[in-house]
Amino acid sequence: MTVISQPPRRPSDDRLKRALREALLAGLISLGMFVLYVGLQTTQDIRNQLVLNQRWGLLAILVALAVVGRFLIVYLLGPWFAARKAAKAARAVGAEAPPQNFLRRNVGWIALLALMIFPMAMLWLVGPQKSLKWVDNYGVQILIYVMLAWGLNIVVGLAGLLDLGYVAFYAVGAYSYALLSLYFGLSFWTLLPLAGILAAFWGIILGFPVLRLRGDYLAVVTLAFGEIIRLVLINWTDVTRGTFGVTGVPKASIFGIWSFDFNAANSFGKLFDPELRRPTLNSAYKIFLFYVILAMCAITAMVTIRLRNMPIGRAWEALREDEIACRSLGINTVTTKLTAFSIGAMFGGFAGAFFAARQGFISPESFTFHESAIILAVVVLGGMGSLFGIAVAAVVMIGGTEALRELHFLKTLFGPEFTPELYRMLIFGLAMVIVMVLKPRGLVSVRNPTAFLHERKAVSSAFTKEGHG
């Protein structure tokens, strides 16, 4: 449980001894940690009183895992990491990167093309009924998170402002669409930009007073604002209907030409055979939503890439690397931060409006701090600043947790009451910690500042403190 890597200077039997000692220690510590929480379980009996349930077998398994894991880390992984690090250091600094092949250079376009044909391919492969699950649960769900994470990436990844209340802007977008369409009958395509504008407006309102704060203070204030917005949504029952949520949020239409309501005069379903109508209309709606969110993601990516090459984007990245240097070079840090904050919030608002149209039902439950943490985890795990890395992280994390529901064989392994979904957030949290400790600048890829004055230094900024080196 100590340091991750130790230099392998000792002979190997000495290493074995050390590994055994460390493993034993890890076992003792984990025994102490888990003995109360895992070994004993508090459950309610029939009279609704708490009783203790003994689970020593599970405790033994966990402790054994800790012992074996620690042994392997110290005995095998430690030397391997050290050797790799030495090899990396030995390589010449600033060596030319290997030439990228066609596949690597055009990975974004290839992914976009694959996503374009994805719903049709699914429809053709598994039929309209089963394709629903793939297009909606996997495709749309993941793309919503990609969009949110790309939006948050502008704030966290590019400008280096830790925003723990990002979900507030998602909520603003969702409630803007739901309430305005219900109370005033406005359509999705009118409200989508409006939701983004409102969210950006809230970003400015919330951002303006707090942006003078230092990084971690800012994090806590944004968290507080996120919670305030959620509490207002819960308690302002006259407008938001509180915890019951807003039901019957209208569906999106194809630019007002065709509607996806079954009974509407211009229903899209009228184009199909009468007996196939209802299920086809439903999957057509999901496929339509898939393309909408795909287009929204593409716009987000395009805007981010363009902004990164503009003066404001350069200023964001400079701000992330060193705020004091930025200020001494005459960059107005307040407006720079504020633009990042409001543009990020705007994309959150777009995603929120889309979410409301897709669900047809929203409640404050969807906008808890955990949601913010998930989005942040995707941004961090993907490598802050890297669009491609974030997209991969979203596919792995969101798709992975969706796939957890499918793993029925785990039930036969761990017993019928085993619910893998419960472990979703636990795995999320662990992944956040492990990736951060092993690769502080992201699992998938690293996004260095777009503009460099000189050649890259031997020590990357990931290894130095802010404001140093």
Residues that bind other proteins (CB under 8 A): 1-4, 29, 32-33, 36-38, 40-44, 50-52, 156, 160, 162, 164, 209-210, 212-213, 215-217, 219-221, 223-225, 227-228, 231-232, 234-235, 324, 369-370, 373, 376-377, 380, 422-423, 425-426, 428-433, 436-437, 440, 461-467
Q: Do residues 188 and 342 touch, judged by C-beta distance below 8 A?
A: no
Q: Return the number of the residue (39 or 196) whose C-beta is nearest other proteins.
A: 39
Q: Return the number of the residue (51 or 110) whose C-beta is nearest other proteins.
A: 51
Strand boundaries in 243-350, DSSP class E: 246-247
- Shortest separation between residue 35's beta carbon and other proteins, angstroms: 9
Q: Return the number of the residue (53 or 106) whose C-beta is nearest other proteins.
A: 53
- Shortest separation between residue 373's beta carbon and other proteins, angstroms: 6
Residue type, 266: N
Rounded to the nearest 10°, the torsion over CA 141, 377, 171, 347 is -80
Q: Do residues 364 and 234 touch, judged by C-beta distance below 8 A?
A: yes
Q: Return the number of the residue (80 or 463) whose C-beta is nearest other proteins.
A: 463
- Shortest separation between residue 13's beta carbon and other proteins, angstroms: 26
- Shortest separation between residue 88's beta carbon and other proteins, angstroms: 18
Residue type, 5: S
Q: Return the number of the residue (36 or 103) whose C-beta is nearest other proteins.
A: 36
- Shortest separation between residue 43's beta carbon and other proteins, angstroms: 7
Q: Which residue has the tokens 């969702």?
A: 174
Q: Do residues 187 and 253 touch, judged by C-beta distance below 8 A?
A: yes
Neighbour tally for 162: CB within 10 Å: 18
465 torsion bin: left (phi>0), alpha (psi -120 to 50), beta (else)? beta
Estimate the crossing angle of helix 333-359 against helix 167-184, to 10 degrees.
50
- Shortest separation between residue 33's beta carbon and other proteins, angstroms: 6
Q: Return the number of the residue (37 or 262) whose C-beta is nearest other proteins.
A: 37
Q: Which residue has the tokens 């005033």?
A: 184
- In sign, the C-alpha dihedral spanning 398, 402, 407, 410 is positive
